[in-house]
């Protein structure tokens, strides 16, 4: 008999989690203004809000933490981190930052100015925010196939080379760089193929532009290249990662995802001029150049995390769990962005809550319903997250309206996946009775989804 699949680790420490009653959850959600970001962690049973900073560190990472060097300047832990980044990416220049958006803030302060256009594939909301707040445009050049959630193709996160070339042809002088997000979070944790990264490089070279990878989930992207793209099955994740980064000029990194630390990030690049330009903003915004907002011990743990999570077994365990959840949803007929993403399942709310008009935010409504059902906290990646158009101030209803179930790394078991799928099935079974959504009571002008206040529509 063939042995079944099992995790590539065993558990050394556990953290109890608490269930609640539906009446309690109704009260808590109301107090949270129907925005799950406003819930207290203890009001949540299974937390799928994000895979960012929520992973479980390994024994090696905890051991590294004890060895962290807290020297203000020249920390040994910084040099350990720099060495690992250099080994994985080939980039010589490294600036630590306190998280991914800080890396964006520092680097974009040097590179993005008013009137610029930054083409890419579904810029993450902080990335878009850091571009738009500088009065520049984040131009989405993702392949159209990403919008059809039921289409099953291997690299749905790709950049559409035609859209990118059109942008380069028309506006070359306004484009400071191209940014490719690997994996493409907003489109569903979907990977970008090596062939596509190569094509982006070719176009960048043709128009004399540089390329940045938003690399929060680069290791998961490498896993998908290994398992889905021809010619990579026999390469190691580290070899594939290096080959990916060979096609870029620099990277921003949220280390809270594939670095498996709870806080941290960095900028890395092969270009001295970018490093020199970014340095000037690191010191006032983040801190001195060898810590940039991170503790020495966190840099030490990150160095180990990056090394561990660019090994196949660790990634296979993780992505297998996400696929397991997807297989349960398939059994129940619940529509999600296909195929399953690297870090999350994205439920297609517009196909579930068909009676809720888009003006009443179906994905946010589904997020609330799932919480009320079982205390499971997902996250809307849809019309609320999309913010308003900076010029017309209209809601942006053009993209997908999804409920993201992000799976923390090395945290929940497959039994938790069963609970999540069953809770969703219960909501799905009564979907036709859900006819009203939510309406906005108050919102921030930018990145509104964290703080938006909502109420049940029509009440
Ligand atoms: N880029 C991508 C692709 C991201 O997914 C994130 C964060 C960032 C940049 C910003 O990094 O949070 O460290 O400042 N994504 C989290 C999420 C918040 O839940 O998807 P950060």
Share of the chain above pLDDT 70, in %: 100
Please work out whether the CB of residue 181 comes within 6 Å of at least one atom of ligand 1.
yes
| pLDDT tens digit sequence for 135-154 | 999 999 999 999 999 999 99
Share of the chain above pLDDT 90, in %: 96
| pLDDT tens digit sequence for 222-254 | 999 999 999 999 999 999 999 999 999 999 999
Atom index in ligand 1 nearest the CA of residue 101 equals: 14
Pair of tokens at residue 372: 């009320």
Residue 43 confidence (pLDDT): 98
- pLDDT surpassing 90 at residue 447: no
- pLDDT surpassing 90 at residue 426: yes
Catalytic residue status for 216: yes
Pair of tokens at residue 232: 């990579």
Catalytic residue status for 449: yes
The rounded Å distance from CA 206 to ligand 1 centre is: 30
- pLDDT surpassing 90 at residue 290: yes
Please work out whether the CB of residue 186 comes within 6 Å of at least one atom of ligand 1.
no
**Residue range 212-222: mean pLDDT, rounded:** 98
| pLDDT tens digit sequence for 17-70 | 999 999 999 999 999 999 999 999 999 999 999 999 999 999 999 999 999 999
- Contact indicator for 238, 324 with CB cutoff of 8 Å: no
Task: Tell me, yes or no, if the pTM score tops 0.85.
Answer: yes
- Contact indicator for 127, 179 with CB cutoff of 8 Å: yes
Residue 399 confidence (pLDDT): 87
The protein residue whose alpha carbon is closest to atom 20 in ligand 1 is 50
Looking at every residue in the chain, the average pLDDT score rounds to: 97
Partners of 252 in the beta sheet?
214, 267
User: How many degrees, rounded to 5, is the angle at CA 428 between CA 427 and CA 432?
Assistant: 100
Residue 330 confidence (pLDDT): 98
The rounded Å distance from CA 338 to ligand 1 centre is: 21
Report d(CA 136, CA 130) in Å as an integer: 9
| pLDDT tens digit sequence for 155-167 | 999 999 999 999 9
């Amino acid at each position: 008999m063939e042995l079944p699949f099992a995790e590539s680790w065993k558990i050394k420490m556990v953290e109890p989690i608490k269930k609640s009653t539906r009446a309690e959850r109704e009260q808590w959600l109301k107090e949270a203004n129907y925005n799950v970001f406003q819930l207290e962690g203890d009001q949540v049973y299974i937390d799928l809000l994000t895979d960012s900073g929520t992973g479980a560190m390994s024994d090696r990472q905890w051991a590294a933490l004890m060895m962290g060097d807290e020297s203000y300047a020249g920390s040994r832990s910084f040099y350990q981190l720099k060495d690992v980044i250099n080994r994985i990416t080939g980039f010589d220049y490294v600036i630590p930052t306190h998280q991914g958006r800080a890396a964006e803030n520092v680097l974009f302060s040097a590179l993005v100015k008013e009137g610029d256009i930054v083409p890419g594939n579904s810029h993450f909301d902080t990335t878009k925010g850091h571009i738009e707040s500088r009065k520049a445009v984040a131009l989405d050049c993702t392949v159209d196939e990403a919008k059809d959630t039921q289409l099953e193709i291997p690299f749905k996160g790709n950049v559409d080379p035609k859209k990118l070339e059109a942008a380069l042809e028309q506006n070359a002088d306004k484009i400071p760089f191209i940014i490719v997000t690997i994996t493409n979070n907003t489109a569903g944790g979907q990977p970008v193929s090596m062939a596509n990264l190569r094509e982006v490089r070719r176009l960048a070279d043709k128009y004399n532009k540089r390329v940045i990878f938003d690399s929060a989930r680069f290791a998961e992207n490498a896993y998908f290249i290994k398992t889905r793209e021809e010619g990579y099955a026999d390469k190691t994740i580290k070899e594939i990662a290096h080959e990916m980064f060979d096609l870029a000029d620099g990277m921003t990194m949220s280390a809270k995802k594939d670095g498996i630390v709870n806080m941290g990030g960095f900028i890395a690049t092969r270009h001295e001029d970018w490093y020199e330009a970014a340095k000037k903003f690191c010191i006032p915004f983040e801190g001195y150049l060898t810590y940039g907002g991170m503790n020495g011990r966190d840099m030490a743990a990150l160095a180990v995390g990056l090394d561990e999570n660019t090994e196949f077994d660790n990634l296979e365990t993780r992505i297998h769990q996400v696929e397991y959840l997807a297989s349960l949803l398939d059994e129940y007929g619940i529509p999600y962005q296909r195929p399953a993403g690297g870090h999350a399942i994205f439920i297609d709310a517009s196909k579930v809550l068909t009676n809720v008009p888009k003006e009443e935010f179906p994905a946010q409504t589904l997020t609330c319903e799932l919480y009320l059902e079982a205390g499971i906290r997902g996250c809307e990646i849809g019309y609320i997250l999309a913010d308003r158009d900076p010029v017309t101030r209209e809601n942006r209803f053009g993209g997908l309206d999804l409920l993201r179930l992000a799976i923390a790394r090395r945290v929940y078991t497959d039994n938790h996946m069963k609970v999540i799928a069953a809770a969703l099935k219960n909501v799905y079974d009564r979907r036709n009775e859900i006819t009203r959504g939510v309406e906005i009571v108050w919102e921030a002008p930018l990145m509104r989804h964290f703080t938006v206040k909502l109420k049940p529509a029509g009440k």
